[in-house]
Structure 1
Amino acid sequence: MEKLNWIAVDWGTSHLRVWLMDDQSKVLQHLASDRGMSSLKPEEYEATLIEMVGDALPDQGSIPVICCGMAGSRQGWAEAPYGKAPCTPPSIDAATRVSTKVSRISVFILPGIKQLPAADVMRGEETQIAGFLAENSDFDGVICLPGTHCKWVHISAGEVVSFRTFMTGELFALICGSSVLRHSVDDEGWDAEAFDAAVSDAISRPAAIAGNLFSIRAESLLSGLSAAAARSRISGLLIGIELAAARPYWLGQDVVIVGESGIASAYEVGLIQQGAMARRVTAENMTLNGLRAAHAKMVEIAQ
């Protein structure tokens, strides 16, 4: 392996992604684990990271480790205080330095962003935003970050102006996994026509969401609605009511969706159906670019 210069870390709720980087910020090795924040106690973070990267660490000196995501949450490795919107995506100069037992690493956790009034928070997404802006410095529009909690972020003049979070992904998981509709769906299959119709219906009649959801169960019992169609309609109804509520963010805006496939593709389809200008970028690339930008800032400060 070429010489390790620094380590980039994306520590999510359910995942851990690590990139070993050289002095040109090129990836030497990519490592992944399911040891996310939800499975760790604060005192377990350092040992988890060392277990993954220890063999690559030099015997002498200390390697910078730049982390984003839930490692900086109140339940994480060490709480990294939020920056306050409107603001540029926080970088290394606002990071929290973590005390470690192992001297071969120097750990920095990037902060998230908070918003008051209209209380809202993000952790991890701000690094993806920084990564996008590193390549698109003149962007003026909206970044949509789908996931368990989807975020709509208004960007202008390189700043996060405002943002809004929707629990759509979590609601989808709860409905499909714990409600009566769990008997009508499975984990595979997709019906694009059913999804499109559900998005359109939900945007037109968002107040009918509860009734429209139960009709899925009734149709599966009485009319043989397929599991793929049921799952697609649930997704379409939930994304549809989110799009209805988030209309002030995307209507007439240049919208960038951070994500490669799956849920990001569903958001793209829903937005295009409504006449919005939407395009996708790769989430992992944006995260890594944001961490690279933080490291570049670290080098600049050191000089």
Structure 2
Amino acid sequence: MHPHDTDRIIGINWGSSNLRAYLIGADGRMLDSHEAPAGVATLQREGMVAAANAIRARWPEAGHAYAAGMIGSNVGWVDAGYVDCPAGAETVAQHLVPARIGELALHIVPGMACVRAVDGAPDVMRGEETELLGLLAAGNVDPDGIVALPGTHTKWIQLRQGRVESFMTSMSGELFDRLASGGLLASVLEGPGEPGPAFAEGVRAAAEGTLGLGALLFGVRARMIRGALRRDQTSSYLRGLLAGAEIADAVALFPALGDASVPLVGSGPVTRLYQAALAERGFDAHTVASADAVIQGFSAIHAIAGPSR
């Protein structure tokens, strides 16, 4: 064993559908990675044990292991609860939940919960907090700025003095998937949707129009039937409607959205959609790879909690 092998840590982003694990060096660099379609929604407890054992077998010398995401939910291995916002890395590190999954001893990262001052509504996140902590640790975000994490359930986060103050979750990604897979609009939608004129038109219609999203969604079908929208543009227009409505909500809740470039953390295709939608509304944004952020997040948590564990 190399004398510094135990300085390496394992970070696992364990969601509902997928498991992504990283071997992380003492300097915060990714040394190796492992991905499997082994999300908690697809596994019984014995399946979780098998997945954890495979990770330990791959990196037997790593000194500490951490897991974030749905593995810490009430349908995961153990419910790691939530820390109340405002919260930062220190708060999260103080509330790690020790566990053992098969041969892998680890600490599970809690989620975050908030009650927004603007509308008095509660919200929760699980998994995204580790990406946010990574952005903050790397200095890649304004400590008083806004961050967006586009995906199936997109998060818009208000930071204050380097901590998460409050956030909003939008189900736009899931809405598109549901509408495209069944129901009235499925028969007129074509393709995954991408930036372009139809997308931009949808963004403007949702952000500037007087009608609610329910009426605008039916309008996708009406526009195609009446020749105002080609079939190969319908998915892009729908994507634009959903993103435009979501950005309007984010602006209403977080007026500071337009003050600086917004980091978009996630996969390439979805962050490009949001970057285009924000540009259509006059906001600047830049993309950050999710893996880079989550690796830095695990490193930041370990820097606080690791020596005492």
TM-score by length of 1: 0.89
What SS does structure 2 have at the residue aligned with 1:246? Answer: helix
Structure 2 runs not aligned, ≥5 long: none
Give me the CA root mean square deviation: 2.4
Quote the residue 1:87 is aligned against.
87
Quote the residue 2:197 is aligned against.
193
Identity among equivalent positions (%) equals: 30
Q: Which moved more, 1:270-279 or 1:159-168?
A: 270-279
Note the C-alpha offset of 1:139: 2.5
Is residue 291 from structure 1 mapped to residue 298 from structure 2 by the alignment?
Answer: yes
1:252 is aligned, of 248, 258, 261, to 258
- After superposition, what is the alpha-carbon deviation per residue over 1:157-196, rounded to whole angstroms, capped at 9, x for unaligned? 1111111111111111111111221112234463610000
CA distance in 2, matches of 1:112, 1:158: 17
CA distance in 2, matches of 1:21, 1:209: 43
Structure 1 runs not aligned, ≥5 long: none
Aligned residue type for 2:215: G
What SS does structure 1 have at the residue aligned with 2:177? Answer: helix
Equivalenced residue count is 297
1:146–1:263 Cα contact (<8 Å) kept: yes
Q: Which moved more, 1:282-291 or 1:212-221?
A: 212-221
2:52–2:101 Cα contact (<8 Å) kept: no
User: 1:129 and 1:55, CA in 2 relative to 1: closer, same or farther beyond 3 A?
Assistant: closer
Aligned residue type for 1:252: G
User: 1:171 and 1:78, CA in 2 relative to 1: closer, same or farther beyond 3 A?
Assistant: same
Is residue 184 from structure 1 mapped to residue 185 from structure 2 by the alignment?
Answer: no
Quote the residue 2:20 is aligned against.
17
Note the C-alpha offset of 1:212: 3.1
CA distance in 2, matches of 1:57, 1:204: 55
TM-score by length of 2: 0.87
2:88–2:162 Cα contact (<8 Å) kept: yes
Aligned residue type for 2:22: W
What SS does structure 2 have at the residue aligned with 1:99? Answer: strand
What SS does structure 2 have at the residue aligned with 1:163? Answer: strand
- After superposition, what is the alpha-carbon deviation per residue over 1:93-113, rounded to whole angstroms, capped at 9, x for unaligned? 3100013442xx321101110
Aligned residue type for 2:85: A
User: 1:85 and 1:229, CA in 2 relative to 1: closer, same or farther beyond 3 A?
Assistant: same
User: 1:291 and 1:251, CA in 2 relative to 1: closer, same or farther beyond 3 A?
Assistant: closer
Q: Which moved more, 1:250-259 or 1:274-283?
A: 250-259
2:73–2:79 Cα contact (<8 Å) kept: yes
CA distance in 2, matches of 1:260, 1:191: 15
